[in-house]
Amino acid sequence: MKSIYYVLIALGINTGVAAQSINRFRDSKTADAFLTYRSNQKKPLILAHRGGPGANDTENSITTFDQTAKQLPDAIIEMDVRMTRDSGLVLLHDPTLDRESDALGPVSEKSVDQLKSIRLKTLSGTLTDQPMPTFTDILAWNKNRYMLALDVKPGTDPLMVMKEVKKYKAEHSVFVICYSLAEAQRVRNVYPELWLAVGVNSEADLDRFENDTLPKSRLIALTPQKLQSTTFYDRLHKLGIRCSVGTYGAGQLDEEPLPKAAAGYQNLVKQGGDIITTDRPLEVDRLF
């Protein structure tokens, strides 16, 4: 038995949880196969919010992304992209550096070179030796292995972000979260094959969305954290659109002990959620 194990190692076959291969998402066909809504799909996609850090991990960091991806290779890795003073692109959730690093002040007032010297803090506030990654660092790390959800923060142009994505031939291993239908249309005009995510936060929003001229292909709906009626999700499904539901934040499922919250996650999927955006991706994935 041991000899078989060593042969597998020699051949490069991982006998445990395997990381995905380079250029897994190499074209629109591979991206579409992963993200397209299918009515017969029982298991939801898991989106790791800010990479899925625990209390002793850093958010929006290569260390955490790598840790989550190795344990859950089909997870979507979500990240926050912000622009620096000199038009560089870095990862940071907050507009200021205070909570997440050993520096202070708005990231928009710092240059990329200035940010190279800062170090990230864990969610519990412990300082680490981890640097703040640039967006280029992330693309170089990913090599189209995992699907990345890009939350391009206000004040950062998604088309500028996509120029960097294009340099790395990574258009099919990302989708861009847009803050309005107009922004989504602007990006779609330039990148017709790119997957986009847009907010659909109410019945009124859904009415406007259905009647908007934005093509309904290659779209993900970011729906309210409060569970909606099955009709709400059905209307989006009829358009061929997956529904993402967030379970993070105060008062949400992620804040409850898992045994207590488990039925809530499962009910979310039964109701019509197709993607669960969560701070504890590994634990939630095991429920399905």
Tokens of 138: 């992330």
Chain centroid to CA 55: how far? 19
Let me know the angle formed at the C-alpha of 134 by 132 and 136, rounded to the nearest 5 degrees: 150
Let me know the angle formed at the C-alpha of 179 by 110 and 250, rounded to the nearest 5 degrees: 85
Domain extent listing, the chain: 21-285
> Nearest to residue 106, comparing CAs of 94, 114, 117?
94
| pTM, to two decimals | 0.92
Tokens of 86: 């000199």
Per residue of the chain (288 residues), give pLDDT as tens. Answer: 434 333 333 333 343 345 689 999 999 999 999 999 999 999 999 999 999 999 999 999 999 999 999 999 999 999 999 999 999 999 999 999 999 999 999 999 999 999 999 999 999 999 999 999 999 999 999 999 999 999 999 999 999 999 999 999 999 999 999 999 999 999 999 999 999 999 999 999 999 999 999 999 999 999 999 999 999 999 999 999 999 999 999 999 999 999 999 999 999 999 999 999 999 999 999 999
CA dist 194 and 188 (Å) reads 7
Domain 21-285 has CATH 3.10.270.10: no
